[in-house]
Structure 1
Amino acid sequence: MTTPLRRTAARGLPLRAVAPNAVTALALCSGLTGIRFAIAEQWETAVLMVMIASVLDGIDGRIARMVRGESRFGAELDSLSDAISFGVSPALILYLWSLKEVPRFGWLVALVFAVFCALRLARFNAGIDVAEQPHKSAGYLTGAPAPVGAGLAMLPLYLWFWTGLELWRSPLIVGPWVALMAILMVSSVATFSWSSLKLRTNIRFEAIAVVVLLGAALISAPWHTLTFLCAAYLATVPFSIAAYARIKRQRAASGGLPQTPSAPAPEDGAH
């Protein structure tokens, strides 16, 4: 007599996972709303919606760890939200703002940015369970995270907001710039990870002061500050490449053993 097959009941989402997933959903709503404001040509509000999405994306993972609400569902939802908020939304905003002046070239650039963002997220998800990740074990990310890529791609918008120069709206500038930021997202370039930075005890007070100053600057002069932050991030890329190359040489000299302790798993915002 054969024993009937048991069907495993599908488990629902734990109550503790509701809060972080709700924040992720709000980030998705914010990113999509940016498209709505771009259609209405309310450019500053459209960019603000993407910025709000990036803030929400940065805290949903922390909330999940705080309440022990991590789940595979949350990770997948986060990636889908990021693909729309930091891939599709910035691409459409930039297309409607500038790239539609050259429809074929402009749409191609917008497609490349959105697709490359999705490819980055797919690469992240595919390697999330891989034990050997050289960049991650050394405390670095691979390429620019999706929220950072979106923020960098919109740099011409920030410059246009505070200078008023139509030069920054030219598709001849916006198109190549957006394509370059798309390549940076999917590249194998080692970039610094915020979660791996450790401050010395004697400079932690100064770090708090810098954060406060940045917050005040973002409130009083947001577009100037975002321009500065984009320039500062890009300036760190050569240093991160050189620092990781030095670690690779040290590993090769020691037979491939890591020279630095393994970094924690990248946060949701590090996709």
Structure 2
Amino acid sequence: MANAGAEVIQQETGSAPVRRRPSRGMYVLPSVFTAGNIALGFYSLTQSIQGTMGNNAGFDHAALSIGFAVLFDGVDGRVARMTQTTSDFGKELDSLADVVTFGVAPAVLAYVWGCRMLPVNAMPKLRETVLALGVVVCFLFLICGACRLARFNISINPQPKNPGRPGSKYFVGMPIPAGAGVIAAVIHCFDGSPIYDPRISIVWLLLICGTGYLMVSSWRFWSGKEIDAGSRKPFQTVVLLALVIAAIWMFSEITLMIIALGYLVSGVVARLAYSWGRSRRNAGIA
């Protein structure tokens, strides 16, 4: 059966098959999902503003919109590959969308939720320090995400410093959607209720710093490209995905935070395990 968007026709002369190019309308389809990605990022920004007006649900809605944008980000690329409508325009648009939705939106959300909403009378001196640090740290998160995207766009077959199993595909550094997902998952876990203690805000800023560093690091992160419903064990894959979806549907707060933080920790553990194994090998050689 021919691939979607293209038809293979056999010439009567017996020459090689000729593959027709997809119609122009098909090239618009991936961009529609990318536009949806940008729309969700913009909606997240508007809801963050609503949250500063005392509506905690605004923070939760902002976090959820970033979570839905992660799904859109995965769909647009897959649709482009399935319909064979990948283009330079689509790649550039996708990168710009990611800067807005997974860079600007979560950085603003992280600042107003974790720093800006601190009570004025709660340790005033520490509060002022946290507000100043919050601006710097959240900006660094944005810059790290933008640099991660730029490196991804120019890299050809990048390899992590701590390689994994041969033949397996990994991301070099935490992807920016995953970094934004960490911020969104934590905020959603608390139903959008902002931080009111400056000491907890410091812990929050440390988490953001660590997430930003992991995005620009050269450590390996699981790409998820090995998941394939058409593999040799499609039943197990479908059941696993169904269980994850059910858990998110019923216990979204805790499930999403476990997934987000678990993915973050997985990259750190992989790096530490590789360093520990290399040290043991070097000690054995010595």
TM-score by length of 2: 0.72
**Mapped partners of 1:167, 1:146: distance in 2:** 28
**Mapped partners of 1:235, 1:206: distance in 2:** 25
Matched, 1:71 2:84: no
Secondary structure, counterpart of 1:170 in structure 2: helix
Q: Is the 8 A contact 2:185 2:257 kept in 1?
A: yes
**Mapped partners of 2:185, 2:199: distance in 1:** 11
- Structure-2 change in CA distance of 1:224 and 1:166 (3 Å): farther
Q: Is the 8 A contact 1:92 1:110 kept in 2?
A: yes
Q: Is the 8 A contact 2:102 2:177 kept in 1?
A: yes
More moved, 191-200 vs 221-230: 191-200
- Structure-2 change in CA distance of 1:236 and 1:103 (3 Å): closer
Specify the alignment match of 1:188 in structure 2.
Answer: 218
Secondary structure, counterpart of 2:190 in structure 1: helix
Matched, 1:148 2:178: yes
Q: Is the 8 A contact 1:28 1:84 kept in 2?
A: yes
Q: Is the 8 A contact 1:30 1:53 kept in 2?
A: yes
Specify the alignment match of 1:9 in structure 2.
Answer: none
**Mapped partners of 1:166, 1:160: distance in 2:** 12
Structure with the higher fraction of residues in helix conformation: 1
Specify the alignment match of 2:8 in structure 1.
Answer: none
Q: Is the 8 A contact 1:54 1:147 kept in 2?
A: yes
Secondary structure, counterpart of 1:195 in structure 2: coil
Q: Is the 8 A contact 2:113 2:194 kept in 1?
A: no
Specify the alignment match of 1:6 in structure 2.
Answer: none
Matched, 1:30 2:27: no
Specify the alignment match of 2:266 in structure 1.
Answer: 236
Specify the alignment match of 1:48 in structure 2.
Answer: 64
**Cα offset, 1:232, TM superposition:** 2.6
Pairing 1:187-206 to 2, within 5 Å after superposition: 187-196=217-226, 203-206=233-236
**Mapped partners of 2:219, 2:198: distance in 1:** 27
Provide structure 1 residue ranges, at least 5 long, that are not aligned to the other structure.
1-12, 249-271
- Structure-2 change in CA distance of 1:79 and 1:244 (3 Å): farther
Q: Deviations over 1:83-136 (max 9, x none)?
A: 110011001011111222432111111111111100100111121xx3x53349
The one-letter amino acid paired with 2:143 is V
Give the number of the structure whose alpha-carbon radius of gyration is greater: 2
Q: Is the 8 A contact 1:87 1:113 kept in 2?
A: yes
**Cα offset, 1:230, TM superposition:** 2.1
Matched, 1:83 2:93: no
The one-letter amino acid paired with 1:34 is S
Pairing 1:1-271 to 2, within 5 Å after superposition: 14-41=24-51, 42-100=58-116, 101=118, 102-127=130-155, 130=156, 133-135=158-160, 139-161=169-191, 170-196=200-226, 203-238=233-268, 240-241=270-271
Q: Is the 8 A contact 2:174 2:264 kept in 1?
A: no
Higher RCO (CA < 8 A, seq sep 6+): 1
Specify the alignment match of 2:20 in structure 1.
Answer: none
- Structure-2 change in CA distance of 1:172 and 1:116 (3 Å): same
Q: Is the 8 A contact 1:34 1:47 kept in 2?
A: yes
- Structure-2 change in CA distance of 1:180 and 1:98 (3 Å): same
The one-letter amino acid paired with 2:148 is R
Secondary structure, counterpart of 1:161 in structure 2: coil
Q: Deviations over 1:152-202 (max 9, x none)?
A: 133431342399985699311211111110111111111111114579967
The one-letter amino acid paired with 2:24 is P
Secondary structure, counterpart of 1:141 in structure 2: strand
Specify the alignment match of 2:9 in structure 1.
Answer: none
Amino-acid identity (%): 29
Root mean square deviation of aligned Cα = 3.2
Secondary structure, counterpart of 2:191 in structure 1: helix
More moved, 83-92 vs 195-204: 195-204
**Mapped partners of 2:79, 2:173: distance in 1:** 25
Provide structure 2 residue ranges, at least 5 long, that are not aligned to the other structure.
1-22, 52-57, 119-129, 279-286
The one-letter amino acid paired with 2:25 is L
Q: Is the 8 A contact 2:171 2:222 kept in 1?
A: yes
